Structure formats: C-alpha cells, structure tokens
Structure 1
Amino acid sequence: MGKLRYYLCMALYYLFARHLPATDMPYNLGSKKIREILCRGIFKKTGRNVTIEHGAYFGSGRDIEIGDNSGLGLNCRVNGPLKIGDNVMMGPDVMIFTQNHEYSRLDIPMNLQTAPKEPVVIEDDVWIAARAIILPGVTIHKGAIVGAGAIVTKDVPEYAIVGGNPARVIKYRNSTK
C-alpha cells in the first residue's frame, strides 16, 4: 500500500495539483490543501500548515523534509536530500540543487560524470527571496535571510543577511529593534 500511495500521490501532483492556481488567488479552488495532502504521501516528512505553491517541482520528493508553517515557493525547483525547518519562507523561482557534475576526467564526457549528492539544510525562521540559487552541501542557519537573486555557495551563519554572486554577508539581523 505504501508504494501504491506514493505513486498515486506523485501522479496526481504532477498531472493535476502542480497546475492548480497559486494559493493567493481568489479562485484557488482549495489548491493549498490539495497540494499539502498529496505531498504528505510523497515527502519523507511534512509538518503542519505547509504551503506548496503553483508549479513547484521537487523530483521524486522522497528525501525531502519540510517543517511546520514552511513552504515551497511559486515555480521553485528543489531536489533532495533537503531538510527545511519550521517557519521558512521561500519566494518564487528559487532553485536548490543537491548534486552537480564532475569534470575532472577527460576520457568521459562531463554529462556522464556526476558527483555524489550533498544534502542541503535550511534551519528554522529563514527567508529565501525570489530567484535565489542554493548549491549542494549548503546549510542556511537559523534566522538567516537570502536576498533575491543570491547564489549561495557556502554555509550562511545564523541571523545573517546575504546577497550577491557568490552570496556574501551584507549584515546581521538586529534583535534589539
């Protein structure tokens, strides 16, 4: 029953639910709830009040964990292994990669050389703005903000605000104001 449920949820998500309207549209047809229910049958772990937006692509989804009050943004493209904590906001068109190509061997074409998967971890209370790109093996620590269009190539410290290509710390969130 477990495999059948998984494949049924995958088929319903990619053929139907992925294409339902965004959750903020007045004619959303219950799309938030439909996508959330289907992802419970797909993801490794799904918290409460999860939002999976229109067009989100997550491959097989088997090694994705998403915490309470978190979401995948409009038209995002993410791959596992991926662990998303609680209260994580994700803007549109975010891409999270967990695998890359190798290029060290000259006797094998690059498109046939793949590196091992490296998990991405996004801790609690993180905001990932529109069109950010997060590369394999990165951890975005608690309370961080990733600016729009940033390309994150290394770990982001707690409460840091990062931006640019490659992403660099711009400043830290101030807890006194």
Structure 2
Amino acid sequence: MKTDKASYRNRGGIIQRITTAYKRFRYFTEAGHDLVVKRSAEFRMVKHAVLKVGSGVTIQDEAFFQLTMPEPKVFIGNNTVIGRRNIITAKNRISIGSDVLIGSDVQIIDHSHGMRRDTPIRLQKAEIGFVEIGNDVWIGAGAKILMNVRIGTGAVIGANSVVTADIPDYAIAVGSPARVVKYRD
C-alpha cells in the first residue's frame, strides 16, 4: 500500500519517531500511544504547565504551543489533529476533545488584554478565561477561537471564522463573529 506523504495520517520514519520521542519526554505531562509531533512544532512553557494528550494525536509542522503564567493546562483527546501553524496559547485551561480536526493557521486563546480606559492597554493585566472544544469538531483553516467559549460536540467552524460566543452541539457556524447558519444532518 502506498503512503500518502501529505496526509496527517503519515506517521513518518525513524527521524520523525526520534523527534516525537524527544518532544514527548521534554514537553508532555502525559501522552497516549501513536503520538506524532512534527519537527518544527514549537513549545514554550513554564515549568509547572500541564500538557496532556490522548492516543493517536498528531501535531503538525510549525504548530506553536505557549503555556504561560499563572496555571496553564492544555488537554487534547484521542485522534485529534492540530493543524499546520496552529497557535494554542493558554494561561488557564484549554480543553480539546477527541476526533477533532483543526485546519491550518487556527488560533485558540484562553485570555485577552484588559481594555479599561484609565490605563494604557500595554500596562493592563490579562483577562484570563478558558476554551472548551467538544468531540468530533471540525475547525476550518484560519479560524480564531477566543476566551470563554464552548464549542459543542460535532460542531463545524467555518474557515476564517472568529468564535466569540458558545456554539451548540452539531451547529455549523461561520463568519466574524461566528454565527450558526445551520446544523449537521
């Protein structure tokens, strides 16, 4: 059987397995079997950060994980694909379910800058929240998932959408801000 070299299902050769083994040891608090972490995936984490992933997870090229103060935790379920050039930034908690497909250039962020008028934005402390993404979700390329959002089981987020509010189970949401346009059959 011929291997699809472009596919996220391609587990790679010996160099890929060595890269994954090193990154698994260096960055992950817990990881299931069949983890694939591409060579150019980058991790910047405080020492007490928690990064747990299930089995069959793939983290594509140039994905960037930033887990910073105060208590960052990222949980990723089984058989989930983190696409190329994704940015996942956690100060508190980001939870991504199982069987989730995340397209390229997606950003998932659980915090934002303060925006009070009495202090310059650059001097304000971050507002910290959470992000929860259910199982069997598809997030299209270029989407942005902002803080304090729950994306329900089976939801589809359109390419380049900006999710600023909860998305119900099996909803298809598109736009900026993302709005439900229909539900999966």
Question: TM (normalized to structure 2)?
Answer: 0.73
- Is 1:45 paired with 2:16? no
Matches within 5 A, 1:19-98: 29=13, 31=16, 34-35=19-20, 38-39=23-24, 41-42=27-28, 43-60=50-67, 62-80=72-90, 81-98=93-110
Q: Is 1:22–1:74's contact at 8 Å kept on the other side of the alignment?
A: no
Residue in 2 that maps onto 1:9: none
Give the superposition deviation at 1:104. 1.0
Give the superposition deviation at 1:34. 3.3
Give the superposition deviation at 1:36. 7.1
Structure-2 separation of matches of 1:46 and 1:133? 21
Q: Secondary structure at the match of 1:121?
A: strand
**Moved beyond 6 Å, runs of 4+:** none
Q: Secondary structure at the match of 2:65?
A: coil
Distance 1:170 1:86, change over 3 A: same
Structure-1 separation of matches of 2:21 and 2:54? 10
Listed as ranges, the gaps of 5+ residues in structure 1 are 1-20
2:126 corresponds to which of 94, 115, 118: 115
Distance 1:22 1:66, change over 3 A: farther
Q: Secondary structure at the match of 2:141?
A: coil
Q: Secondary structure at the match of 1:149?
A: coil
- Is 1:172 paired with 2:180? no
RMSD: 2.7
How many pairs are equivalent? Answer: 153
- Which deviates the most, 117-126 or 38-47? 38-47
Q: Secondary structure at the match of 1:44?
A: strand
Deviations 1:62-81 (A, max 9, x none): 51110100021100001122
Structure-1 separation of matches of 2:17 and 2:86? 15
Q: Is 1:67–1:86's contact at 8 Å kept on the other side of the alignment?
A: yes
Residue in 1 that maps onto 2:44: none
- Is 1:161 paired with 2:146? no
More strand by share: 2
Q: Secondary structure at the match of 1:161?
A: strand
- Please tell me the residue identity of whatever aligns with 1:103: M
